[in-house]
Structure 1
Amino acid sequence: MTSDTGIDPTAVPSGTGCAECDAAGGWWFHLRRCAACGHIGCCDSSPGQHATGHYRATGHPVVQSFEPGEDWFWDYATNELREAGPDLAPPGSHPEDQPSPGPAGRVPRDWARTLRR
């Protein structure tokens, strides 16, 4: 159950990559995990910006980085970085052998020029 903080520690990740990019054959720069439902979306530097889109569609305000070695949270509702939060259901990141940007084989050669800033 989602708490009043917008976080459900029992929600498992929806997959190992951005759900919308995977469905469309796209690619991402970095991944974010919805702390309310586990949806995996791509960051705002990615072409699709699907994590923010998920927030706008659902109102789920808090995401956690889904990158190996990162555990920070971002609150879209307040535009604030949270350095810490509760442990979420595993896994805490995409597989370490999955490249970033990713996924392998779908990232264009000129990917750095297409990042959103």
Structure 2
Amino acid sequence: MMGRMTDGIDPTAAPSGAGCRECDELGGWWVHLRRCAQCGHIGCCDSSPAQHATAHFRATGHPLVRSFEPGEQWYWDYRTESLVDGPELPEPQHRPQDQPVPGPAGRVPADWRAHVH
């Protein structure tokens, strides 16, 4: 059995990294980051070119993400397409403060605005 879960939230699941897992593997970039509340997967938001957080939901059925941006503590429920409340998750709570938006540094094209959704 996995860690204790409440409605798609595992309060023991640590983040999978400091950036979008798939973008890092593929050399891509992101606008903002989202954290799966069930397994800790870090994926890029729907404004990002690849939309890996939503792809993770579609592939796994994990219904909730939490913002992985500094100063943001909201959860999004893909099932109801609405904001919901949830518990604190393990550190870190957000991407590194020195990571630019969009990021990561060195991989964002000069015309990045032309690639966002």
TM-score under structure 2 length normalisation? 0.95
**Post-superposition offset of 1:3:** 2.2
Matched residue, 2:89:
88
Identity within the alignment, %: 67
Deviations 1:26-84 (A, max 9, x none): 000000000000000000000000000000000000000000110000000111112x3
Q: Runs ≥4 in structure 1, deviation > 4 angstroms?
A: none
Supply the distance in 2 between the matched residues of 1:25 and 1:86 (Cα, whole angstroms).
32
Matched residue, 1:106:
107
**Post-superposition offset of 1:4:** 3.9
Is the contact made by 2:14 and 2:40 (CA closer than 8 Å) also made in structure 1?
yes
What amino acid sits opposite 1:10 in the alignment? T
**Post-superposition offset of 1:85:** 1.4
Supply the distance in 2 between the matched residues of 1:7 and 1:101 (Cα, whole angstroms).
27
Q: Which runs of 5+ in 1 are unaligned?
A: none
Q: Which runs of 5+ in 2 are unaligned?
A: none
RMSD over aligned Cα atoms: 0.8
